[in-house]
Structure 1
Amino acid sequence: MPHGSMRLILLLPLLLATGCQNDETVAAYGGGTGLWQLIEIDGKTFPARATLGFPEPGRIAGAAPCNAYSGPMTAPYPWFDAGDIAVTRRACPELAAETAFFDALTSMTLAEIAGDTLILSTPDGREMVFTRSQP
């Protein structure tokens, strides 16, 4: 076996192992820096404060109008899947806005980042628009 082929055989398992650990979610494609502030749902200005962040590979977290939340995010970009979200249980006057936020967030299936704008959407036309918050 030629010497160069032996090096490739030895490096291939290492390359495959490191490739499997790369973050392929929206965080790795520009979403991971900073916090995203929700500005509208389905074309209407969102009346409360809600954020979305990507604190580490494979995770989302943020603040809804009343509660903090977190969950897994393993769908490869441009897909988005926020299905199993853990939420704190604090009541507040903005519970209706919080319910609307989580209903929308858990239905989103696609993500698109353009500069300081993050758009989450569904094939049937629902949409959440976020803007990158300044640190």
Structure 2
Amino acid sequence: MKKLLLLSTLLTVLVACRSDETVRAYGAGDRIWTLKLLNDVPFPATATLTFPKTGEIAGQGPCNRYFGAMKVPYPWFDAGPIGSTRMACPDFEAETAFLQALEAATLSDVLGDTLILSNTEGLEMVFKATD
């Protein structure tokens, strides 16, 4: 009986220790994700996404570094609100499209070296791991 109680307690503690239920813990952490396709069209600039710590996203858009919170459990995705630096560049249109799509994404799927962010309105962002 004592062994069963000890085992039950240990399992409860192990489950409670898993504090990260976001996409980071399901294969997206410790990688740099580069956007390849936005709505089935090759993305014309370089944009990255990382999950540096539990509850955070960060990356480099075509012009600026950005950061945001990420606290919903996998497979959900909610990156808003996103903050960024404010440097001007020729790829500002691509930057705006990227950040708007990132804020609109509500679902995530990690498939090996591919990360797909999407929503029910038809948005699809396809990232490849570049670590």
Matches within 5 A, 1:51-66: 51-66=48-63
Distance 1:3 1:113 in 2: 41
Distance 2:126 2:5 in 1: 51
- Of the three residues 89, 110, 123, the one matched with 1:113 is 110
- Of the three residues 34, 39, 53, the one matched with 1:37 is 34
- In structure 1, the residue matched to 2:89 is 92
- Give per-residue Cα distances to partners, 1:93-130, cap 9 Å, x unaligned: 11000000011110000000111000000112110000
Amino acid at match of 2:124: E
Distance 1:29 1:21 in 2: 12
Identity %, equivalent residues: 52
- Aligned with 2:36: secondary structure? strand
Distance 1:21 1:95 in 2: 39
Matches within 5 A, 1:73-92: 73-92=70-89
Distance 1:73 1:66 in 2: 22
Mark the runs of 5 or more structure 1 residues left unpaired by the alignment: none
- Aligned with 1:34: secondary structure? coil
- Aligned with 2:58: secondary structure? strand
After superposition, the CA RMSD in angstroms is 2.0
Deviation at 1:4, TM superposition (A): 5.7
Deviation at 1:92, TM superposition (A): 0.6
- In structure 1, the residue matched to 2:19 is 22
Mark the runs of 5 or more structure 2 residues left unpaired by the alignment: none
Distance 2:21 2:74 in 1: 6
- In structure 1, the residue matched to 2:123 is 126
Distance 1:77 1:20 in 2: 17
Task: Detail structure 1 runs of 4+ shifted over 4 Å in the superposition.
Answer: 2-9
In the superposition, the TM-score normalised over structure 2's length comes to: 0.89
- Give per-residue Cα distances to partners, 1:42-69, cap 9 Å, x unaligned: 0111000000000011100000000001
- Gap change, CA 1:127 and 1:19, over 3 Å in 2: same
